[in-house]
Structure 1
């Protein structure tokens, strides 16, 4: 009985164990089935989303490629030239207009070659380097001389006045837009030549009219005499205008040939010009204040430089307040004081004791002429050196006892400051106009290079 009970218990236990095992296996199969179903659906979801993202990425790429092609086509047909270089100044792209302007004919797209191999232009190379170094847009204008290897065709090669606008790009790349300014230059030259020819033709009949008016002036009685005097006054004004225009055109065409250099003592030259106009200054009780070296020798054209000071003094006297002061400051600087542009920005009021020794050989001579008038109208400042430009009295910036600086010079022709600029540029210098922050009057700043070494 005991053995039978043991066997019966063992059989029951084995049966129960088998039943539990089968039950557990069925549960595991069910769980595995569920897991397989979930994994399959998850995998299908990931694949579906991946395919959708790929499709969207391809669509976005197609749109970008379409835009890129559009911009490339626009650059190709643009009236401006465009080129782009990488961080090593290798040419990456160049449209047809840039090829034509720079005469690039040995380059194909996707062919990496140094720009210097294709275009010999120091100004363009400097512009690109400056833009890359400063990381800001830059504009520069220069005359481009295309290379010519054929001696017979050298006479047909024409130089071009180009204006380049550069833009810094990522990774050290630089893009440059090129504009051909030569047609505008030639148009301006043609216009000036036409005016000069017309001035030549008008000078003879106007001289004849003046001679007749002068002859009639002493033979007529009033009121006819007053009419002749008015006629003579206007005739002289026209003759002065024509003479100024011809003088300006001659300075512009042949700046160096129009000058006769000689050694001049600058302070004596300034004092001489002031003494010529001192009777006009005495009428307004005005005086001259000179600050600078007692003796400073320069090489310049005496007649031209005297004309500059006469014109400036005349304008300052006319447009300054009564009992005012015209201040002339002369500063001589050595080469190490010059800034990156070759100029010096000295303070407007410096002491004479601060001036360098007169025996030194300065590289730059700066002349600041400051009056106590109403100065330039703000709207006139960008145009003060343009030919025939005259300030509009209705746009004056203040209502004082003096008139605003009218930019017309002693003759009232509107060419006074234009002639001054041409004379200073012919000497290799620069002239700037502004209003002085302390006096409120006109401030003309002239910078002349040292020409002592000229023979």
Structure 2
């Protein structure tokens, strides 16, 4: 799909009329708001969910005319002010709805409405499918690993390298299955739900994560530099935060030249914490910056300094962990060389503050 997006010509893009037709055919409700907050389109499913059937005048109507609700209005206002998607679990006329407010270019907003019953049914079906696939994959992989261990004890020295390669590839497949299961669980969990929140000292957790990577780093003369002051803690799921930091540091280690440090720094503002991971490698290509958080995307292998191959799921998992905590992750190139990945997290998940002026150390 990324290739299609890059190759598509502007003349092939759908018109506004075609987009509205697609919206009308959608199984979920959609409301389109212009930059002034006026309702410009309501699809049939949204009319059904809101029990409303109004004819919009040429100059539109305020959202309150369609649905007067302070909670929904606040969600729309936050999405517009922060210019990032918002999600709301909303009770309206005895119906539990899942609401997503999505900012687009030019100040337009899309409001998606979906019944919690249909959403939960979809999630349940996906979870069953993932569980079935995991069972089918993990069982033969475990058996093959046992066969590999048995062969390793029996083959002669001339064939030992073949068995070692078999074991290495089987372990890589086992890790891939584990990553896919973890990503599926994260994608099928609503933000803020399923988290075991506790106070997490981020610099301390970074050091713990690096301890597991240190043997690989020492082989290449790479050290970790942590720029932090005491007391940099957030409320988060410690296990998932460990996984996010592990994936970020492992990614930086793969792309770092031998003998160059990996640096982690922190910045905080009212209600927010920014974790900045830097390496001194070749940086990201334009294609990397466009696709690096997608499933199974891998950058140019010529830029990888480590012989270890990744699954292509690590940064996608980081993104889902960030979203589950009400944060986000983004990447850029350092003007002085190297790559930078920034993980932005709220200090307290229950009390998100508007984001403004937060930058990592130069």
* Corresponding residue for residue 275 of structure 2: 367
Asked whether 1:327 is paired with 2:228, we answer no
Q: Per-residue deviation at 1:424?
A: 2.4
Q: Per-residue deviation at 1:432?
A: 1.0
| In 2, Cα distance between equivalents of 1:307 and 1:200 | 23
Superposed counterparts of 1:400-439, under 5 Å: 403=304, 412-439=310-337
Q: Per-residue deviation at 1:244?
A: 0.9
* Corresponding residue for residue 78 of structure 1: 21
* Corresponding residue for residue 27 of structure 2: none
CA contact (8 A) 1:331 1:367 kept: yes
Q: What SS does the corresponding residue of 1:447 show, helix, strand or coil?
A: strand
Deviates more, 1:204-213 or 1:252-261: 252-261
| In 2, Cα distance between equivalents of 1:263 and 1:87 | 39
* Corresponding residue for residue 118 of structure 1: 66
* Corresponding residue for residue 356 of structure 1: none
CA contact (8 A) 1:435 1:443 kept: yes
Asked whether 1:107 is paired with 2:61, we answer no
CA contact (8 A) 1:320 1:372 kept: yes
Asked whether 1:378 is paired with 2:286, we answer yes
CA offset digits 1:325-363 (Å, max 9, x no partner):
222111222x2xxxxxxxxxxxxxxxxxxxxxxxxxxx2
Q: Per-residue deviation at 1:203?
A: 0.6
**Structure 1 residues 387 and 96: alpha-carbon distance in aligned structure 2, compared to 1, 3 A threshold:** closer
Q: What SS does the corresponding residue of 1:221 show, helix, strand or coil?
A: coil
CA contact (8 A) 2:84 2:102 kept: yes
Q: Per-residue deviation at 1:207?
A: 0.4
Per chain length, whose mean CA-contact separation is higher, i.e. which structure has more relative contact order (CA < 8 Å, sep 6+)? 2
Gaps of 5+ in 2: 1-16, 25-29, 352-362
Structure with a larger share of its residues in helix: 1
Q: TM-score, normalised by structure 2?
A: 0.69
Q: Per-residue deviation at 1:184?
A: 12
Give the total of aligned pairs. Answer: 326
Q: Per-residue deviation at 1:213?
A: 1.1
| In 2, Cα distance between equivalents of 1:287 and 1:260 | 31
Superposed counterparts of 1:15-34, under 5 Å: none
* Corresponding residue for residue 345 of structure 1: none
**Structure 1 residues 428 and 166: alpha-carbon distance in aligned structure 2, compared to 1, 3 A threshold:** closer
Q: What SS does the corresponding residue of 1:431 show, helix, strand or coil?
A: strand
Structure with a larger share of its residues in strand: 2
Q: What SS does the corresponding residue of 1:446 show, helix, strand or coil?
A: strand
**Structure 1 residues 215 and 437: alpha-carbon distance in aligned structure 2, compared to 1, 3 A threshold:** same
Q: Per-residue deviation at 1:404?
A: 7.8
